[in-house]
Amino acid sequence: MKIGKRILLGLVAVCALFLGIIYLWGYKFNIYLVPPSPQKYVRVALKNMDELGLFTDSKEWVETKKNTIEETSNAKNYAETIPFLQKAIKVAGGKHSFIEHEEDISKRSITKYIKPKAEIEGNTLILTIPEFTGNDSQASDYANFLESSLHKNNYNGVIVDLRGNRGGDLSPMVLGLSPLLPDGTLFTYVDKSSHSKPVELQNGEINSGRSSTKISDNKKIKKAPIAVLIDNNTGSSGELTALCFEGIPNVKFFGSDSAGYTSANQTVYLYDGSTLQITSAFVKDRTNNIYKNFPISPDIQTNNAKSSAIEWIKSQIK
């Protein structure tokens, strides 16, 4: 009997410990003992913003947290808190941060897949790189189309056209273009504590992004001049793809300043299925320039980026 009581007491203690852990830290995994009240929902969102946001050591953030709690104190449901949390997340993480509702996530999941394009003009291969938000199968199709275009066409130079590319999943873009990129560190994420996480390309694989995409041929293409085209609609992962080419000797940028979303977002799931997209890191390129949501400036500012790039490539051919 004594042994049975000890076992029972032990189980009770383990259960109490488990419930205590869930009560204290369950929010980190979106696990709750009971559905959170709207006020608890707000406090959890603010706590995540506080821990991850790049700008949470400011007086403005301290005031914003206080105001957000007061403004939502009488909220009757989660939806009533969202407008106030939207304002707060911009203070915590900057312009790249936002809250995405469950219905918006569902709409994004059925966004039409736009395939990249490859054209030969003169002796120049022109690759049009659209934003990517598709599934794994589409990611593979996207990346391997670019890779095969680089290996199967005859050309003297390459134009990587990222104009209008607002981002999405980085992996298929970079892997498709990886024959043009040297293996090693492409760029580095730097958080508010100055901790670094390099994004690396090695043997046709990249250690960043959501997909498990692989390409068929990772043989490098060397010496061909590469022109990267950007504009004010090149943003987020579109900009990071461009930064993978920064500092490579045979590369030149053409066009206009990019959108200035040169940072990384971390996703946090809330109880109702909405997500916090909190900017948690800035970006350092291979030349050690740090971009804090700053735009990328091209080497050649021009309204005729494609024509200027073709002329430059011609001038590089000996």
Tell me the residue ranges of DSSP E strands in the chain. 98-100, 117-121, 124-128, 157-161, 184-190, 196-202, 205-206, 226-230, 251-255, 263-269, 275-285, 290-291, 300-301
Structure confidence by residue, pLDDT tens digits, 234-275 = 999 999 999 999 999 999 999 999 999 999 999 999 999 899
Q: What is the mean pLDDT of residues 178-188?
A: 96
pLDDT score at 24 = 52
pLDDT score at 299 = 98
pLDDT score at 20 = 54
Residue for token pair 């990517």? 132
Sign of the CA dihedral with 215 first, then 216, 221, and 225 last: negative
Residues 318 and 308: their CA atoms lie apart, in Å, by: 18
List, in order of start, the domains of the chain with CATH numbers: 113-264+281-316 (3.90.226.10)
Structure confidence by residue, pLDDT tens digits, 192-206 = 999 999 999 998 889
pLDDT score at 108 = 56
**Structural tokens at position 267:** 């996703």
pLDDT at residue 221 greater than cutoff 70? yes
